[in-house]
Amino acid sequence: MTRQIIDWKFIHPAGGWDVEPDAVAWIDVSRLDEAWRATDQYIEPGGINGQDNRYARVGAWFRENRYCNMGFVSLDENKVRFTDGRHRFSWLRDRGVTALPLQVPSGQANDFERRFGATTRRSILRREITG
């Protein structure tokens, strides 16, 4: 078994947009997953009910890369809503990652930290060594 620490990349707004940059919230995966489960966006373990082959493509990405873009998530009527990254989140959840950073609206950062905050600031992906 090998360990890979994921190098997360923050995505800045495209040029020309007059928007406040997102905040970064380090999330306890199990706490967010519990709240996300109640939404129509939820992806079951193994990628069941995911969109096309995106769940499998996450695995292919991590076989070749040590970095990944952060997902985007917000609270909409107090429910967890992914704008981007729900397949990454579910694939990493299924492989035992316990904490990861997500980009959140700056006005919701305190809510995310309070409800789902992680105590660690590292995402460790454990992988089997293949020959």
Quick: pLDDT tens for 36-66: 999 999 999 999 999 999 999 999 999 999 9
Maximum CA extent, the chain: 49
Threshold 0.85, pTM exceeds: yes
Q: What is the pLDDT of residue 13?
A: 77
DSSP 8-state code for residue 117: B
Q: How far apart are CA 56 and CA 58, in angstroms?
A: 5
